[in-house]
Structure 1
């Protein structure tokens, strides 16, 4: 009988998002991929340092302990197969039960997301992330220099999401960008009882809610909505989640305040946002990924 990942949360992640390969990447960026391969081969027995998304992956995999598999993590990387050996050895060193990987030696790997049934793709490569989003897979560009996750919550997976263009579509954001704040508030107030269309990360939040209701590995899930919305536009966001029958544990309606310090206090294992400016604010304090989606995706 063929193996199936059906029913599991499948997360595809690049090697550089999972491990800190920044020193080796400098060689790669110099345009000498063979020197990069040789360096990785020299370091095969040297575990790579933990990367930005390491805590997220470690906690997700902990949900598999003591029960049926609920999460599958697959390395999906532009690395070459030799470098892939170091990735697997590093995972084994840290006790991460990662068994599957696809290594494409410089070619874009996003096409393999569909046969993997991946629901989330994390990569440091912006082009790959954009292609994944266009293919309908939730994806974020991991900031390699972002702060690492707090170790204060070893048995609780904490994830924070922006709202518009992440959990929700960018329908309302388009109004704000075109007509300004007053028009945005009026638009959202008049549609408070009309659910927002889904954004790319709705399936991820749904999967986290399923994990939240499980007891795998003694792990818990805590989620937060961290949005630039403020009252009265907050109501449509909350009512949309209610319509989806999805709960979040915390909601922060910040009205344009910088998100970084609020996220520092929440201490997520990862934060997703579509605006580069919010990601820059967040990355100083927490692991963060840019969702290159929607009308405001390129804004600083």
Structure 2
């Protein structure tokens, strides 16, 4: 039978999201492709330092055991094959030998390969690639490469924090807030508290994480999730009712009513945080690894 990834949680990730290639990238951005490739060639035997999403990837791969491989991480990168060789060598040097698959497109769009991979998550430092992946229906986020590294305090837990509207949920309610203000938003959500929100771009990832946790309960690793949202009572109820209707629970829920999320995320110590608002993501990156989900009405307004 042909090999398939259908039974695995599949994470597609770019080189810059997994490793710190910022120095090399500055050479590339100066428009000197040949100098970039030559620099990577010179550094083939020098492992790149861990990047923003390294902790998330390392912990997810810890769910794999010899009897069953539950997580597949695939390198999906605009890099050239020579640079790809350095990425694979860096994976081996940092104890990620199970990262064995990769697609390197030498500057061409890589996101089209998400479909044959069946990816549950795409992490990249390239905003356009992330936007295109979201348009194709894949959970995707632009990694803020300036984010701080994840904490080492929870080696046996994958900790992931999600914003609600336009991330886990659709932007239905956010559109009302943007158009009519907070009072109208609160009134609408109270009136529709029993009506589940449609799923947002990251609902499939939350569902896949839920399945992984149930399937791997004896591995010694666990997943801890948090909903970190600007919602507050009474709008909190619809968010909870929506999760209940999906039969998916989060471990923590923070209804902050507009309070800055950064301090709360610092205490939760996630391996990654996903939010659609650039201001929230930028502030969060001062405390935790963070990614921007280019989805929903707030991002449509920002691009006009």
- The within-5 A match list for 1:113-128 is 113-128=114-129
Cα distance change of structure 1 residues 195 and 176 upon mapping to structure 2, 3 Å threshold? same
CA contact (8 A) 1:168 1:198 kept: yes
CA contact (8 A) 2:120 2:208 kept: no
Q: Give the superposition deviation at 1:299.
A: 5.5
Match for residue 78 of structure 1?
78
Deviations 1:202-260 (A, max 9, x none): 01111111122223641011000000000000000000000000000000000011111
Match for residue 42 of structure 1?
42
Secondary structure of the structure 2 residue equivalent to 1:218 = coil
Deviations 1:21-44 (A, max 9, x none): 001011000001111000000000
Match for residue 210 of structure 2?
209
Q: Distance in 2 between matches of 1:174 and 1:238?
A: 19
Q: Distance in 1 between matches of 2:275 and 2:302?
A: 11
Q: Distance in 1 between matches of 2:217 and 2:73?
A: 19
Q: Distance in 2 between matches of 1:299 and 1:176?
A: 15
CA contact (8 A) 2:150 2:288 kept: yes
4+ residue stretches of structure 1 with deviation over 6 A? none
CA contact (8 A) 1:170 1:294 kept: yes
Deviations 1:127-180 (A, max 9, x none): 000000000000000000001000000010000000000000000000000000
TM-score normalised per structure 2: 0.97
Worse-superposed segment, 60-69 or 184-193:
60-69
Matched, 1:261 2:257: no
Matched, 1:103 2:129: no
TM-score normalised per structure 1: 0.98
- The within-5 A match list for 1:48-87 is 48-87=48-87
CA contact (8 A) 1:129 1:292 kept: yes
Match for residue 230 of structure 2?
228
Match for residue 276 of structure 1?
278
Match for residue 173 of structure 1?
174
CA contact (8 A) 1:55 1:269 kept: yes
Match for residue 153 of structure 2?
152
Gaps of 5+ in 1: none
Aligned length: 300
| Cα RMSD (Å) | 1.1
CA contact (8 A) 1:63 1:216 kept: no
Q: Give the superposition deviation at 1:66.
A: 4.3
Match for residue 139 of structure 1?
140
Gaps of 5+ in 2: none
